[in-house]
Chain A
Amino acid sequence: MKKSILILLSVLGLISCSRTTSLDPRLPEIWPDYTGVTVPVGTAPLNFELGTQYSKVFVRVQGADGSILKARGKTARFSVNGWHKLTEANAGDSLRVTVLGLKDGAWTQWKDFPIYVSADTLEAWGVVYRKIAPGYETYSKIGNYQRNIRNFKETPIIESTLTPGQCVNCHTANATNPDQYTFHLRGKHGGTYFQVNGEGKWLTTKTANTISNAVYPYWHPGGDYCACSNNFIHQSFWTGSGRLIEVWDDASDISVIDVRTDEVITSPLVHTDWYETYPAFSPDGRTLYYCTAFPEEVPANAEKVRYSLCSIDFDPETGSFGSKVDTLINCARKGRSITFPRPSYDGRFILYSEADFGCFPINHKEADLYLLDLSSGKRHALAGANSEYAESFHNWSADSHWILFSSRRADGLYSLLYICHIDEDGNASKPFLLPQKNPGRYYVNSLYSFNCPDFTSSKVKFRKGSTWKQVTDPDRLTAKDRITTDDEEIISDPEPADSSAPMFMQ
């Protein structure tokens, strides 16, 4: 009997010894691709998976300080606290990741890869974003969500189930501070929700002087104003196999809402026959950046519509626009189109999308992120952050060291959220996909795009209890036009003398 057991143990020993680990000199094909990314201290761990052909994965992450974190199982899932400790101990240095995968009873070890831990902290509680099917003109369930960046907890702020038949638009906080935020509802009971220091109100923002309700908002840093565009948005659909959708404006203007008085402020300079859209205030609140384009005939000449980056002064004391427009980048000459200008909160850069044409870069495969250095006037593509697919819907962290954006690089259609470090010279690191506990299950089975993301300095508070009642209230507040001498000009002279070349575009 003893002899039999010894023989059996010997055979088992031989079998186990024959399980050698083969070395593969390439980097492992992990998803999400976290090889060589730069992360801040204290975010959720970068869990990942190998292909389904691997039944087990073993991962060892070693910090430059010698500390080690391991994960094993079907996917690489790290302890949240362990990851926080590891990144804290290695801030400003790197982690070395060793990956082994088991396939058909044999282990493979790939080339180790680094994860860089930035010395710049990410000053944010979490991120907010909208989840929506990347469809055409109809939506079923959509919603605004918030996610704690330190762990994996995602909670809805508002979902369309709360307001059936209405489309929930992007959540916009004031420089990441959710004490002050706004979002729109579209549909029969459409309106804009403003929340300031816990007090919320639903406002109908269409007035006699504006062509539509508020569309793309941006808070004034002082908190008394919210700039927005007013757009007639249309969509059309490509017939070829490469492109799917084109979104354009039939008309668009810019206005500023005084949230204290519910007054809408306009100026003839941002209320022309040209398209004006995507307003954004400078961090000092004295300049309003926006994009403008000559109104080509659309859809016939949709591919000729190119937006330039302009600015106009704004006086927060009087709530009035300046008397001239400056062109920062003239795209009519460069043959490109600029949209979504987002000034960094330290006032150094403007981050924007650049595409071949049009105003909706997320549908443009060629759309990339660019950075304009306001001190030198030089612009450059964020090579580290861009991909062969569309990048757009970007925003800065409060400390201006990190950006958050949507990219379609995962499959060409579904936009996912990426976070990227921007160094002192305005260069981007390799971005990392917003981590999930089980990224395969979360992203691969999801039929949602993630768009309009922003960092948030604390948890967004939204009272949902009586939302449906407030939204459908027929006596809801309506914004009114602020009466200024300029109003007569707008009404009496809707068309500039030479609409093909307004003065400020020279």
Chain B
Amino acid sequence: MKFTKIALSLLFGTGVFLFWFLVHPLTLGFQEQNQLFLFTWDYLLDHLSRAGGLADYIAEFITQFNCIPWLGAALLAALLVALQYRVWMAGKQNDGWYPLSFIPSILMLIGMGDIYVMPSHAVAICMALGCFWLYRKTKNYGLFELIAIPALYWLAGPAMWIFAVLSVIMKIAEHGFDGRSFAFGLAGLVYPALLVILAHYTLLNQYPMKAAIFGIGYYRMPLVVPAIQLVTAGSAVLIPLLLEALPEFRKPVVPAIVLTLLLAYPTYLGLSRSYDEGTQQAIALDQLVRQERWEDAVTAAKKYMPQSPECYVNLNLALCMSGHSVDDITGFRQCGTEGLIMPRVRDFISNVGSYEVFWRLGMVNSSLRYAFDSQESEMNNQKSGRHISHIAECHIVNGNWQLAEKYLDILSHSLFYRKWALERKAMIEGKAEPDPLYLYLQTVRFKEDFLFHYPEMGRTLAKLYQENNTNAMSAWYFSAWMTLMEKEAQK
């Protein structure tokens, strides 16, 4: 059975790896771009200053590797296998029921179809179950709980309850349901509840009670607790208990295989429903633009006709950059002039494509504004490696080198933006040749300073071309703008 268990875990891990690497590799990059992991004490201390901060920190450490898709996929697979293993180790190791230990990991994978679900929750559950495994090995239960519960709450967040509930039930199961067990059980639940309340009124007094109870970093949107988060946490309690309670099989291999097959179909159903096609397509186009894979973006859009303006912003940019004529934009459904450059929207996704357009057009300040606002729209107050890099570039082109250096210094503390940042810093210091794109953008930008007004975007594009008739992209965009205006007028 040992071989079967290893094989099943490997199979699951491989499945998760292939799912991310082959089916949703671009989503990995999207998750990475919405954070900036820094190797600084301040970054660590900032995380440790809130409940669940260590789980967030570990999850962000893992997520930074998403910019290498195979590595990001492998680390996510490893995380979910680790979760499965911790669930298995938390219960009685009843081999025939081994596949049940995959359920929390499967639920977590399904939950990740919601791009707001953070891997921090998986890390936190691993920490809670790991703590429970240690607890079972200890002799002084009371002392262990007294220390572990506050420590776990602070480091992993409310996933601490998984440990608290499991330890109470295990004690009752071991000693029977008598008055003493009841008192200990009650104390085991009241103690963490009091700690959470105390934390809310002291160390977490800058968070609402709901955040103290349900977690700060498990979900990207504050004060929202998706059902899948509760179900996954519940399964991490229930499965170890089931493993304890269910009867043993004499020959565990066959039931293990049958159970695996039984889990496969619901897993497939869950995954196909939770990964919304529209969202994934928007993310894919955004990432293809980020990687300047223009033809791939056009091909992807042909396969799945885009629906939203943000998708069209990326598609039309790809059409322009890959040398398509303006007439080619009518080969797609389009959704008005907003599909060329969007008005500013207060979220962290919609304006990213537009800032890429502004940047290449030479409208550096508008690009800077959209990038800054995209970053500030991150609901979990994270900074973004992609956006900060872009903000630094805008300041370089604007000649605000002192400001650019500030951002480059921050990026130099990261793993994957460091080299890029140091190269830019060398450019500023005159130790390296300037990027030709920056020089080009300085020549094709507006000569006259005036206030940007989105409703006059058509005229703005015309003015941009009039001032710089080498700026072919502005001519393309002006022409596209007029084409889509006419198309709207004909409706």
Contacts and interface: CB of A to CB of B under 8 A. Distances in A.
Given A141-B381, A299-B453, A412-B402, A237 B366 contact: yes
Contact of A412 (B381, B400, B409): B400
Given A138-B346, A141-B381, A242 B449 contact: yes
A162 B381 CA distance: 13
A138 B373 CA distance: 5
A467 B403 CA distance: 37
Interface string A121-146: 00000000000010111111101000
The number of chain A residues touching the other chain, given as a range, is: 35 or more
Contacts of A133: 372, 376
A414 to B, nearest CB: 8
A240 interface: yes
A302 B449 CA distance: 13
B164 to A, nearest CB: 24
Interface stretch (B18-26, B80-88, B99-107, B201-209): B201-209
Contacts of A467: 208
A461 to B, nearest CB: 12
Nearest to A243: B449
A221 interface: no
A239 to B, nearest CB: 5
Contact of A162 (B206, B344, B369): B206
B448 A240 contact: yes
B223 interface: yes
Contacts of B288: none
Contact of B398 (A159, A241, A447): A241
Nearest to B449: A240
Interface string A432-475: 00000000010011010000000000000000110110000000
A244 interface: yes
B383 interface: yes
Interface string B18-55: 00000000000000000000001010000000000000
A468 B208 contact: yes
A333 B88 CA distance: 81
Residue from the set B40, B208, B364 with the largest chain A CB neighbour count within 10 Å:
B208
A135 B402 CA distance: 17
Interface string B396-415: 01111011001001100000
A464 B206 contact: yes
A166 to B, nearest CB: 11
Residue from the set B40, B346, B372 with the largest chain A CB neighbour count within 10 Å:
B372
B451 A236 contact: yes
A458 to B, nearest CB: 19
A504 B31 CA distance: 59
Nearest to A141: B381
A165 B346 CA distance: 11
A133 B398 CA distance: 19
Contacts of B406: 411, 414, 444
Residue from the set A133, A165, A240, A302 with the largest chain B CB neighbour count within 10 Å:
A240
Given A161-B207, A241-B365, A140 B450 contact: no
Contacts, number: 121
A243 B40 CA distance: 33
Nearest to A303: B451
Contacts of B373: 135-138
A246 interface: yes
A140 B366 CA distance: 19
B222 A161 contact: yes
Given A236-B451, A237-B451, A238-B452, A140 B399 contact: no
B445 A140 contact: no
A236 B445 contact: no
B402 A239 contact: no
Interface in B179-231: 200-201, 205-211, 216, 222-223
Contact of A464 (B40, B205, B398): B205
Residue from the set A139, A237, A299 with the largest chain B CB neighbour count within 10 Å:
A237
Given A162-B207, A164-B222, A139 B376 contact: yes
A54 B139 CA distance: 54
B159 to A, nearest CB: 20
Given A236-B452, A240-B448, A413 B376 contact: no
B381 A140 contact: yes
A411 B398 contact: no
Residue from the set A135, A156, A412, A414 with the largest chain B CB neighbour count within 10 Å:
A135
A236 B453 contact: yes
B117 interface: no
A465 B205 contact: yes
B377 A140 contact: yes
A239 B459 CA distance: 14
B365 A238 contact: yes
A464 to B, nearest CB: 5
A188 to B, nearest CB: 12
Nearest to A160: B381
Nearest to A300: B451
A46 interface: no
A404 B380 CA distance: 32
Contact of A239 (B205, B209, B375, B451): B451
A237 B365 contact: yes
Contacts of B79: none
A136 B409 contact: no
B208 A299 contact: no
B368 interface: yes
Given A138-B346, A411-B402, A441-B42, A240 B365 contact: yes
Contacts of B449: 238-240, 242-243
B398 A137 contact: no
A442 to B, nearest CB: 9
Interface in A262-297: none
A161 B205 CA distance: 10
B363 interface: yes
B208 A241 contact: no
B29 to A, nearest CB: 21
B380 to A, nearest CB: 8
B40 A445 contact: yes
B295 interface: no
A117 interface: no
A215 interface: no
A214 to B, nearest CB: 23
A136 B369 contact: yes
Interface string A44-64: 000000000000000000000
B476 interface: no
Contacts of B383: 447
Given A240-B448, A243-B449, A445-B410, 8 more contacts: A136-B372, A140-B378, A159-B206, A164-B208, A164-B223, A237-B451, A238-B449, A299-B453
7 contacts: A138-B372, A140-B382, A161-B381, A163-B208, A238-B450, A239-B446, A414-B403
